[in-house]
Amino acid sequence: MSSASPRRRVLPGFGLTLGFTLLYLSLIVLVPLSTLALRTASMGWGPFWATVTSPRVLASYRLTFGASLAAAALNGVFGLVVAWVLARHRFPGQKVVDALVDLPFALPTAVAGIALTSLYSPNGWFGRPLEAMGLKVAFTPLGIVVALTFIGLPFVVRTLQPVIEDLDVEVEEAAASLGAGRRQTFAHVILPALFPAWLTGFALAFARALGEYGSVVFIAGNMPMRTEITSLLIITKLEQYDYAGATAIAVVMLVASFLLLGAINRLQSWASRRGAAA
Amino acid sequence: MRRALTEPPLVRGALLAVALVFLAIFLVMPLVAVFAQALEKGFGAYLTALREPDAWAAIRLTLLTAAIAVPMNLAFGLAASWAIAKFEFPGKGTLLTLIDLPFAVSPVISGMIFVLLFGRQGLLGPFLGAHDVKVIFAVPGIVLATVFVTFPFVARELIPVMQALGNEEEEAARVLGAGGWQIFFRVTLPNVKWGVLYGVILCNARAMGEFGAVSVVSGHIRGLTNTIPLHVEILYNEYNFQAAFAVASLLAFLALVTLLAKSVVEWRSGRAARPEAPVREAA
């Protein structure tokens, strides 16, 4: 506190607001979260390792990480197109489309879950024609990818959109005046400039998908070893009062999520350094 | 020259078509499906599903939960942003990271930590049992889990807004003899009102729509511990699809109102849409 300059302390309320902030943060977030550490510590390494590497848990990791990666990749491609169109094109109804991109943030996950399930179930609007083509979506891993794509879309679009808007058109003009075609400009000038933001959006969508529950449980089918995501497995363990097992799996997912977010933070500072250097 | 700065018309058209078709399939159709199936058996059946006592109980519980969680996190957001934006102190970076922490915790784990704390076999379970206090599988647990998942919304909106505004106006008010509360209500709050509103809108949408965290702590007792999303789940799992979608349409409507309110605030405050990213933009 000694570093606070006298000038800064002209305003009142520092003790009160910081005190309240720390108290509330501790009661609502830190104390409840610390129960995870306490439970894990009381568990012992052997049982912990046995739980988090049991075949059913490993299958759920593979499914959760695989489907999340596939969904983030889909969003990486189509999210880029959507962000580009919203930033660079002008078309009627653009404001509505732009607002709609945030729908997955605003629509409760359970509603998204039942809506997607009804669309892709064997007699649904999309499910029936897809099934006629021999493609099952609902109650298969593919259905999980669909739900996670819905959830992750805004992350990619909203990370890329402002960066595309801020791109310096002069650089594109320079490339064009030096004889580059539009395709060359896009591949060698625009894409490299967008890459850090694109990777950030991809990673954010991936991180969100890892922990997703509501939109997935309805469409997944939830068969152990085949279509059971890790979040559901945690709930199943809790319902069987296997608190230790649930905690162990949760800690693994939480560590994965923290590592990912740490990487995203480094990515963002890289992106902003690049932005400042340009 | 000019042509080299935009894509050829054919490519432009194709890009636009790809974007719109993708959004139609993934965003518009689910929304249409909700309302179409809610009204599948006519408007009468729709209203009947909404008038059902258990649906009403779920609506009341959701409103109660939001009415507690949103003001709590609003008060926290105002206090935290005042402390962080107006003053310098060591450990500020760590504090910012900790405030964002609930965004990094998945919904199911967010509910689970309260079960570990207050559940029958939880840390405080025996104590609560002895005093006949129920937190898990009861309303307090639902409120706590909701407060946890909506914890950062107001604070993370307000902190950058207040930091960008600086302290000059408040300091001038102070020199002119204004008290702390006077400064806050007359100077700071009018300047940040759009930021506050934006945070409250997002916080409320999440509070009313949260599913995973609440599902873990609720116990799914019909008419007692079901929020609207949990009631939707029960109806759906009972194959009562029309009623499930009728109740879900309330939440879909809430989502549309949220998007509209968000766009209006963005337009009024002249800010661009930002991702609800679980990490803070590098300052």
Percent of chain A with pLDDT over 70: 95
Would you state the pLDDT for residue B1?
43
Residue type, A151: I
Instruction: Name the residue range of residue A71's domain.
Output: 48-89+107-277
CB A238 within 8 A of CB A181: no
Query: Which residues numbered 30-59 in B keep a CB inside 8 Å of some CB on A?
Result: 30-31, 33-34, 37
Residue B247: closest C-alpha in chain A? A111
A254 falls within a domain = yes
Report residue A275's pLDDT band, with 50, 70 and 90 as the boundaries.
Answer: low
Contact state of A247 with B116 under an 8 Å Cβ cutoff = yes
Q: Is residue A80 part of a domain?
A: yes
Alpha-carbon distance of B208 to B70, in angstroms, equals 10
Give the mean model confidence (pLDDT) for residues B127-156: 94
What is residue B223's predicted lDDT score, i.e. its pLDDT? Answer: 82
| Distance between CA atoms of residues A32 and B123, nearest Å | 10
- The model's confidence at residue A168, banded by pLDDT at 50, 70 and 90, is confident
Task: Mark yes or no for CB contact B89/A91 under 8 Å.
Answer: no
Cβ distance of A33 and B205 shorter than 8 Å:
no
Whether the predicted pLDDT of B279 surpasses 50: no
Checking if the pLDDT of B249 tops 90, the result is yes
Q: Cβ of B99 and A154 within 8 Å?
A: no
Rounded Cα distance, A278 and B21, in Å:
34
Is the pLDDT reported for residue A147 higher than 90?
yes
Q: Is the pLDDT of residue A7 over 80?
A: no
Query: Which candidate, B278, B266, B277, B279, places its Cα nearest to that of B161?
Result: B266
Whether residue A55 lies inside any domain: the answer is yes
Q: Is B172 on the interface with A (CB under 8 A)?
A: no
Binning pLDDT at 50, 70 and 90, where does residue A276 land? low
Which CATH number does the domain housing residue A64 bear?
A: 1.10.3720.10
Q: Residue A64 domain-assigned?
A: yes
Does residue B92 surpass a pLDDT of 80?
A: yes
Q: How far is A126 from chain B (nearest CA, A)?
A: 9
Q: Quick one: pLDDT at residue B272?
A: 53
B5 contacts A176? CB cut-off 8 A: yes
Amino acid, res. A186: F
pLDDT-based confidence at A273, cuts 50/70/90?
confident
**Number of CB pairs < 8 Å for A and B?**
330
Nearest chain A residue to B283 by CA: give it: A269
Chain A residues in contact with B12 by the CB 8 A cut-off are 89
Question: How does DSSP assign B33-63, residue by residue?
Answer: HHHHHHTTTHHHHHHHHHHSHHHHHHHHHHH
Partner-chain contact A17 B99, CB within 8 Å: no
Residue A113 to chain B, least CA–CA distance (Å): 9
B275 in A contact zone (CB under 8 Å): yes
Tell me the percentage of chain A whose pLDDT exceeds 90: 74
Beta-carbon separation of B281 and A235 below 8 A = no
Q: Considering only alpha carbons, which residue of chain B is nearest residue A3? A: B89
Q: How confident is the model at residue A2 (pLDDT cuts 50, 70, 90)?
A: very low
Q: Which residues of B182-218 are buried (b: 16+ CB within 10 A; e: fewer)?
A: ebbeebbeeebebbbbbbbbbbbbbbbbbbbbbbbbb
What confidence tier does B146 reach under pLDDT thresholds 50, 70, 90? Answer: very high
State how many domains chain A has. 1
Residue with tokens 């998942």: B149
Number of CB atoms found within 10 A of residue B21's CB: 11
Q: Is residue A258 part of a domain?
A: yes
User: Which of A14, A159, A232 is the closest to B87 by Cβ?
Assistant: A14
Q: How far does A116 lie from chain B, in Å, by closest CA?
A: 6
Q: Residue B89 and residue A4: Cβ atoms within 8 Å?
A: yes
Determine, for residues A13 and B82 on separate chains, whether the beta-carbon distance falls below 8 Å.
Answer: yes
Neighbour count for residue A77 (Cβ, 10 Å): 12
CB contact under 8 A, B119 and A89: no
In whole angstroms, what separates CA B115 from the centre of its chain? 22
Give the model's pLDDT for residue A6: 47
Q: Is residue B269 scored above 60 in pLDDT?
A: yes
Question: Over 50: is that where the pLDDT of B283 sits?
Answer: no
Integer CA distances (angstroms), B97 to A265, B93, B154, B258, in order = 11, 6, 15, 27
**Could you identify the residue written with the tokens 């006077």?**
B182
Query: pLDDT grade, residue A277 (50/70/90)?
Result: low
Return the pLDDT at A177. 87
Residue among A5, A231, A261 minimizing CB distance to B278: A261
B13-60 tens-digit pLDDT: 999 999 999 999 999 999 999 999 999 999 999 999 999 999 999 999
Chain B positions in Cβ-Cβ contact with residue A108 (cut-off 8 Å)? 208-211, 228-229, 251, 254-255
Neighboring chain B residues of A89 at a CB cutoff of 8 Å: 12, 15-16
| Inter-chain touch A101–B23, beta carbons under 8 Å | yes
**Chain A residues close to B278, C-beta within 8 Å:** 204, 207-208, 261
pLDDT digits (tens, 9 = 90+) for A215-243: 999 999 899 999 999 999 999 999 898 99
127-146 in B: which are within 8 Å (CB) of A?
A: 144
> Is this structure's pTM higher than 0.90?
yes
How does pLDDT run across B171-193, given as a tens digit for each residue? Answer: 999 999 999 999 999 999 999 99
pLDDT digits (tens, 9 = 90+) for B103-124: 999 999 999 999 999 988 888 9
Query: What are chain B's domains?
Result: 1-38 (no CATH), 42-269 (1.10.3720.10)
Query: Is position A97 within any domain?
Result: no
pLDDT tens-place string over residues A40-93: 988 889 999 999 999 999 999 999 999 999 999 999 999 999 999 999 999 999
Residue to mutate among B35, B116, B117, with most A CBs inside 10 A, is B116
Higher pLDDT, A277 or A226: A226
Domain membership of residue A265 (yes or no) is yes
Closest C-alpha to A199, from A263, A103, A109: A263
Eight-state DSSP code of residue A186: I
What's the confidence (pLDDT) of residue A9?
67
Question: Does A21 sit within 8 Å of B179, measured CB to CB?
Answer: no
The two structure tokens encoding residue A132: 């006629």
**What whole-number distance in Å separates Cα of residue A32 and Cα of residue B98?**
13
Task: Give the chain A residue nearest B32 (alpha carbons).
Answer: A115
Please state, rounded to an integer, the average pLDDT across all residues of chain A: 91
In a domain, A144, yes or no: yes
In which band, very low, low, confident or very high, does the pLDDT at B271 lie, cut at 50, 70 and 90? Answer: low
ipTM, 2 decimals?
A: 0.91
